[in-house]
């Protein structure tokens, strides 16, 4: 009789586990230096593979632009100085956007960028997501700089597409973001892409990860 009673437990547990797994958001983080082409490639992935693209920088810029936003000034200061906004703000914006989208597969672009981001995300979102991999667009500083300056000259309107902000952004990237990429490398989650080629050539490499 006893055996009979416990025979059902394992399949029930397995079913529950499957249910929990499928309830999780599937995400890929997208990292790389300023101007490496993260946004450009994310748009192509969205078009071809139907992910939802959430750029942490765009969400912060939107929040900053909201009339009466409690965090507007703080965000503005960080963006101009190329420093990182506290994770509670960024993570809440990301979680809200994920919930609102009613979708399940996300490219999270430009996040996590430092240890505070990583720890805050793991605490708030760790149990709610399945991290597929970290897409890392590798691009030398001089190429990234030129792309951002060209973007500024073409009228991006971004307060940080200028040499002064770029120096600070690169400093943050090297000192705070690279260690996060190395952390994911140690977990064998990083998929490195050479971002120096044309957008279409880069996308040929990106595609291989999604097919």
Q: Is 41 annotated as contributing to ligand binding?
A: no
State which residue has the least CB distance to ligand LLZGTKA7: 57
Minimum CB distance to ligand LLZGTKA7, residue 13 (Å): 37
Task: Out of 16, 167, 199, 204, point to the residue binding ligand ATP (CB under 6 A).
Answer: 199
Minimum CB distance to ligand ATP, residue 128 (Å): 25
Which residues lie closer than 8 Å to 161 by C-beta, 6 or more apart? 148, 149, 151, 152
Which residues lie closer than 8 Å to 209 by C-beta, 6 or more apart? 133, 135, 191
Task: Out of 54, 79, 139, 202, point to the residue binding ligand LLZGTKA7 (CB under 6 A).
Answer: 79
Sheet holding 190-194, edge to edge: 52-55, 105-109, 25-32, 129-138, 190-194
Which residues lie closer than 8 Å to 133 by C-beta, 6 or more apart? 28, 29, 189, 190, 191, 209
Window 143-182: residues binding ligand LLZGTKA7 (CB under 6 A): 160, 169
**How far is residue 157's CA from residue 14's CA, in Å, rounded to a whole number?**
52
Stretch near ligand LLZGTKA7 under the rule CB under 6 A, chosen from 19-27, 105-113, 123-131, 177-185: 105-113
* Cα–Cα distance list, 38 to 23, 72, 186 (Å): 27, 24, 22
Stretch near ligand LLZGTKA7 under the rule CB under 6 A, chosen from 8-16, 56-64, 95-103, 129-137: 56-64
Is 111 a residue that touches ligand LLZGTKA7 (CB under 6 A)? yes
| Count of residues near ligand ATP by CB under 6 A | 16
Minimum CB distance to ligand LLZGTKA7, residue 138 (Å): 16
């Amino acid at each position: 009789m006893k055996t009979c009673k416990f025979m059902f437990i394992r399949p029930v547990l397995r079913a529950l586990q499957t249910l929990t797994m499928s309830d999780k958001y599937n995400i890929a983080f997208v990292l790389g230096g300023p101007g490496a082409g993260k946004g450009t490639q994310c748009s192509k992935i969205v078009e071809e593979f139907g992910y939802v693209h959430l750029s942490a920088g765009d969400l912060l810029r939107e929040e900053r632009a909201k009339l009466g936003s409690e965090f507007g000034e703080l965000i503005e200061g960080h963006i101009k100085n190329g420093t990182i906004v506290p994770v509670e703000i960024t993570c809440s914006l990301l979680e809200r956007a994920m919930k609102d989208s009613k979708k399940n597969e996300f490219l999270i672009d430009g996040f996590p960028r430092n240890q505070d981001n990583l720890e805050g995300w793991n605490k708030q979102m760790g149990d709610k997501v399945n991290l597929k991999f970290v897409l890392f667009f590798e691009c030398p500083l001089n190429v990234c700089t030129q792309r951002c300056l060209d973007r500024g000259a073409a009228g991006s309107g971004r307060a940080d597409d200028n040499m002064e902000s770029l120096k600070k952004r690169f400093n943050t990237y090297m000192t705070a973001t690279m260690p996060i990429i190395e952390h994911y490398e140690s977990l064998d989650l990083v998929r490195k892409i050479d971002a120096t080629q044309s957008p279409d050539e880069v996308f040929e490499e990106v595609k291989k990860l999604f097919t």
